[in-house]
Amino acid sequence: MLQKHFIPHTTSRTKGKYRLLVLDSHNSHLTAQFNKICEENYIIPIYIPAHTSHLLQPLDIGCFAVLKRSYRSRVTGYTRLGINSIEKDNFIDIFPIARTDTFKDTIIYSAFTATGLVPFKPNRVLSKLNIRLQSPPLLDRPSSQGSTSDSNISTSIPQNTKQLAKRKARIDTVLGNKSNKLSSPTKRDLEQYHNITLKIIHKLIFQDKEIKRLRAANAKQVKKRAKSTKQISYQGSLTNRTIADIDSNSDIKRYISNTPSIPTLPAEPELPILPTIRRQIICSRCSQKGHQITRCPRA
């Protein structure tokens, strides 16, 4: 790509000896052969930081986004007409119109302005970069109990609200330094992270207490189920020997002592026995008692 496109198209337009080539940090560019070609043709390559092309390249910020939006709107118009598949002929009709609507002077100028190139305002990009501050190494302190605990708090995850408060106080001290140049959004994000962490610690404390209560209740239930539920299965009258065997069995004695006594109800009084009375026969013809229809005198 360097020998086929960049060098032939820029040789006649070069002012001076050197040419500047801005690249992203892709691995395919970082080769010895690529650097040798740049040296031989007086090309100075500049690699932009990783994951910053959407902030530094005017085409990505201004032109390509508008082109994508314009093309999508025209494809949506075809879809509303019932054309769900964009063929090559449809693409040839759509893309030139979207390209003409995109690459205008106003859009190109605004893209260079958004990237801080023209006019030159680097803070437009620097304020959006995610700058990670590297903490200084911990100083060696005498091995005492207080210093050991402070070192553990500094290097470990806060386990309670007290440790979190110490960590936040240290961060506030660093952010209050005049030499610190963190932007307001970054400070606001740190404050939000502190509030979220505090809520999580409180939630974990409540959950830990709830788990302990549930485990204690579960242990009581397990202990209750583990009690002996053996019943005395014996038929017949109890003899002196049987009573002695029961008295020697500790499980049966424990069961009898733990079993509540069942109160006996008073016996119901017996009812008098009444004589059996047979129902008299009634004739179905004369409705008289004492005979059937076959022996009816009126027959």
- 188 and 210, same structural domain? yes
Structural domain span for residue 65: 53-130
Given a cut of 70, whether residue 122 has pLDDT beyond it is yes
* pLDDT tens per residue across span 266-294: 666 676 777 777 777 888 888 888 788 88
Q: Is residue 292 part of a domain?
A: no
Confidence of residue 248 (pLDDT cuts 50, 70, 90): low
- Out of 114-118, 190-194, 240-244, pick the least confident: 240-244
CB atoms within 10 A of CB 85: 7
Given a cut of 60, whether residue 37 has pLDDT beyond it is yes
What's residue 144's pLDDT? 47
pTM of the model: 0.37
Q: Which range has highest mean pLDDT (155-169, 171-185, 228-242, 245-259)?
A: 155-169
pLDDT tens-digit readout, 150-167: 444 455 677 777 887 887
Give yes or no for residue 97 having a pLDDT over 80: yes
Same domain, 42 and 65: no
Do 57 and 113 have their domain in common? yes
More confident residue, 55 or 8: 8
Share of the chain above pLDDT 70, in %: 71
Average pLDDT, the chain: 77
End of a domain among 173, 206, 222? 222
Cα 60 to the center of its chain, rounded Å: 32
H-assigned helices in 81-230? 88-102, 105-114, 123-126, 145-155, 161-175, 184-225
Q: Over pLDDT 90: what percentage of the chain?
A: 15
| The predicted structure's pLDDT at residue 3 | 85
Largest CA distance in the chain: 154
Give the pLDDT confidence score for residue 42 in this predicted structure. 92
194 touches 168 (CB < 8 A): yes
Residue 93 structure tokens: 């009709």
Whether 250 is covered by a domain: the verdict is: no
Question: Which of 207, 222, 237 corresponds to the end of one domain?
Answer: 222
Identity of the residue numbered 24 = D
Please count the other Cβ atoms lying within 10 Å of the Cβ belonging to residue 102.
19
Please determine, for residue 195, whether its predicted confidence score (pLDDT) is greater than 50.
yes
- For residue 190, being part of any structural domain is answered with yes
pLDDT score for 140 = 45
43 lies in some domain: yes
pLDDT of 132 over the 70 cut: no
Asked whether residue 57 falls in the same domain as residue 126, the answer is yes
Based on the fold, state whether residues 123 and 75 are members of the same structural domain. Answer: yes
| Tally of domains in the chain | 3
Q: Which candidate, 6, 47, 55, 52, places its Cα nearest to that of 28? A: 47
pLDDT at 95: 93
